[in-house]
Amino acid sequence: MPGFPEFQGHRSLRNSHWHSFPGGNDGFSRCFIKALIPDAIEGNKRFADIHNRRVLFPALDRESNKVRLRLSASVVRVEQEGVPETGRGLSVVYRKDSKLYRLKARSVVMACGSRLTRKVVSGLPAAHADAYTHFHVCPILVANVAITNWRFLYRLGFTACKWADGFGFGCNIRKPMYVGNYRPPLHPDKPTVLTFYVSFHQPGLPIEEQGERGRKKLLGTSYAEFESRIVGQMKQLFSEAGFIADKDIAGIILNRWTYAYVNPQPGFYFSKDGLPVPRDIIRKPFGRIAFAHAELNGHQHWVAAVDEGIRASKQALASF
């Protein structure tokens, strides 16, 4: 399967907690792209080249490619042609540059999570549609604070901390990952990134409402407000160890992750009152459509995404 042989080659990485990608999880997408369209990433098939060298974006969607990757295109409708079980294919409608396009597909993997899949797939069976109503997803803010040094943390003797009251619940710096010539030093007087995790749970509200209310807070709070709260939290935690905001902070990047983590209620993982488990229903294909996404694991991370993706890809290929 394209991309996966390379992934199998990194089996030790898969079983390791020692991964922290400087550019986020794009290392995985880069492996897939290199396998599908080799010349779309400069260099050869060494992981260091795949990870560090330039992506040649025009090469992703050339007419001569066996596989074409279309950027900035949002799928708005996926429809089975004929009876799902016996139909010969699918119609996929996507929007790009304010225009709608339709293409034919033999099978489809929906890998974009419950919030979109339930709206985009036309004629979803009642069991699938009902199962998706049991996915309640909460938001998270991941704030990356670029710091000129982490001497203040070093003085305290730690690289990560958690707290019960205040803004967010934890922050950490991580050992940088060395890939090829990319070898940033881990030294208290050198720059690094301090990552904050901020949840928006709303105790006391029904599970159905908590995610929506949290998203409103996450999206309705200005950058300046978040900045001031992050700096305030850092002062509270680190001032006594010599932290000076103006000197030590170089910049702050906010990642507003609106649909971050499933809140698994009773019945999500295991059957409750004899009812089928929602994620097991979604894992069954609907005609030629298979369903992936890390949400099905109940905890969104890259291993879950890969596991669900491999399973769904095999189901999609089997329906050819």
Ligand X SMILES: Cc1cc2nc3c(=O)[nH]c(=O)nc-3n(C[C@H](O)[C@H](O)[C@H](O)COP(=O)(O)OP(=O)(O)OC[C@H]3O[C@@H](n4cnc5c(N)ncnc54)[C@H](O)[C@@H]3O)c2cc1C
Binding site for ligand X (CB under 6 A): 25, 74-75, 111-112, 116, 120, 142, 255, 257, 293-294, 300-302, 305
**Nearest distance from residue 24's CB to ligand X, in Å?**
6
Q: Which is nearer to ligand X, 17 or 54 (CB)?
A: 17
Q: Which is nearer to ligand X, 193 or 294 (CB)?
A: 294
Record the tokens describing residue 59, joined without a space.
């090469």
**Nearest distance from residue 244's CB to ligand X, in Å?**
27
Rounded distance, CA 282 to CA 313, Å? 14
**Nearest distance from residue 285's CB to ligand X, in Å?**
17
Q: Residue holding tokens 């050819």?
A: 320
The DSSP call for residue 177 is P
**Nearest distance from residue 72's CB to ligand X, in Å?**
10
C-alpha distances out from residue 121 to 113, 124, 136, Å: 12, 6, 19
Q: Which is nearer to ligand X, 154 or 257 (CB)?
A: 257
Q: Which is nearer to ligand X, 152 or 194 (CB)?
A: 194
Record the tokens describing residue 276, joined without a space.
């089928």
Q: What is the CA radius of gyration of the chain?
A: 22
Strands 289-291 and 74-81: unpaired
Helix (H) or strand (E) holding 75: strand 74-81
- Taking a C-beta distance cutoff of 8 angstroms, is the pair 90, 68 a contact? no
**Nearest distance from residue 10's CB to ligand X, in Å?**
14
Rounded distance, CA 251 to CA 95, Å? 35
Q: Which is nearer to ligand X, 111 or 245 (CB)?
A: 111
